[in-house]
């Protein structure tokens, strides 16, 4: 059963009862709601330790930042790579989704590309605490052109990940919050400064 409650500060919190997580995940997977499915996978990890799980809305698990001005996607990608290097993140790859769609369908598609970054020291420390953290690595930042032509940067909110029970140790939380700060500086620079 899924119930909705209003918590302090007017935030809406969904309560998913442990027995319902699989059916909810299946429904979201069928609708191809990737961000929500990712959040549910995090919740499923937590559910092995609790009867019920409080879930913040999907928006709290991800960040969505508009790219200011009329930027060329190549300039934003370049800015992401530059800012990542300045913030101790290594660029480890890019998956140009729009090119895959074009190759398979023969038709053009709006710009959507997934860029991957990593902080090897932080990742190693987290993996030493739990191999499950490998599911969140590397750090991904998506550059997405919406249907109106506006570019957006999307990424996971590492602060939300730090609240998951699997990563509850004080050391892991410090590492995750450091990653959160690094990623935030990178996307803020690419969205605003270029």
Q: What is the pTM of this model?
A: 0.69
pLDDT in tens, 11-36: 555 555 545 555 555 554 455 444 45
State which residues of the chain have pLDDT below 70. Answer: 1-59, 164-168
CB 115 within 8 A of CB 190: no
pLDDT in the model for residue 48? 43
CB 65 within 8 A of CB 191: yes
Domain residue extents for the chain: 1-56, 63-193
CB 123 within 8 A of CB 136: no
Q: Is 71 helix (H, G, I), strand (E, B) or coil?
A: coil
Q: How far apart are CA 101 and CA 87, in angstroms?
A: 32
43 membership: H or E segment, kind and range: helix 34-47
Phi and psi dihedrals of 134, rounded to 5? -55, -25
What dotted CATH number matches 63-193? 3.30.310.70
């Amino acid at each position: 059963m899924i119930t909705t409650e209003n918590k302090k500060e007017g935030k809406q919190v969904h309560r998913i009862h442990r027995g319902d997580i699989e059916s909810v995940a299946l429904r979201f997977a069928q609708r191809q709601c990737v961000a929500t499915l990712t959040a549910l996978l995090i919740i499923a990890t937590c559910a092995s330790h609790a009867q019920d799980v409080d879930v913040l809305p999907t928006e709290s698990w991800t960040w969505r930042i508009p790219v200011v001005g009329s930027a060329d996607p190549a300039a934003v990608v370049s800015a992401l790579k530059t800012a990542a290097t300045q913030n101790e993140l290594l660029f480890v790859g890019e998956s140009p989704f729009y090119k895959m769609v074009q190759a398979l369908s023969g038709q053009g598609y709006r710009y959507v590309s997934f860029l991957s970054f990593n902080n090897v020291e932080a990742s190693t420390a987290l993996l030493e605490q739990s191999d499950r953290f490998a599911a969140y690595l590397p750090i991904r930042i998506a550059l997405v052109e919406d249907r109106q032509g506006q570019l957006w940067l999307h990424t996971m909110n590492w602060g939300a990940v730090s609240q998951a029970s699997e990563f509850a140790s004080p050391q892991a939380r410090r590492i995750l919050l450091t990653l959160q700060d690094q990623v935030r500086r990178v996307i803020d620079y690419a969205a605003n400064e270029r």
